[in-house]
Amino acid sequence: MKNLLLVTALMVTVSGRGFSEQGNKAGKMKAMAVAYFDEERLRNLGRQAELDNFRYFLKPIGEIVKRDFPGVELKIVGRGELVRLPDGTKLNVQNVDPALGIILTARGKKRRLLSGVQTDFDFACAAASFYQRPSPACNK
């Protein structure tokens, strides 16, 4: 009986430690901007030009994130990808509507969806408001 109690206590201790380590790993990510698109759905809807415009603005948006929003990770995801967001939810690009956009998310905050193509100016202003940090790109 003592052996059973000892084994049970060890199992609880080890599994508890495993959960806390997983929580710490996921907890490092505090904020994220997710640019997502479902290329197949857009192509089927005849919206290839919209996707091309979206991709065009991703480079300046990436530069804005690096320069103006340290600690915010920019992820670019397509159809078939599942992303764990800092707010504890998951994003499945195949099931989200609209078919392309940007999600601003941070731990402890309700996420914000920017639907459709976003210019670098539009993104910078929305991100500055969401992350509560100034962005020179928003003052053009």
Q: pLDDT per residue over 51-89, tens digit each?
A: 999 999 999 999 999 999 999 999 999 998 999 999 889
**pLDDT range class, residue 10, cuts 50, 70, 90:** very low
Q: pLDDT per residue over 29-56, tens digit each?
A: 689 999 999 999 999 999 999 999 999 9
* Contact predicate 102/33, CB 8 Å: yes
CB atoms within 10 A of CB 32: 23
Sketch out the chain's domains with CATH numbers. 29-139 (3.40.30.10)
* Contact predicate 12/19, CB 8 Å: no
**Cα gap 78→35, rounded to integer Å:** 9
**pLDDT range class, residue 140, cuts 50, 70, 90:** low
- pTM value surpassing 0.85: no
* Contact predicate 68/28, CB 8 Å: no
Residue 30 token pair: 């505090």
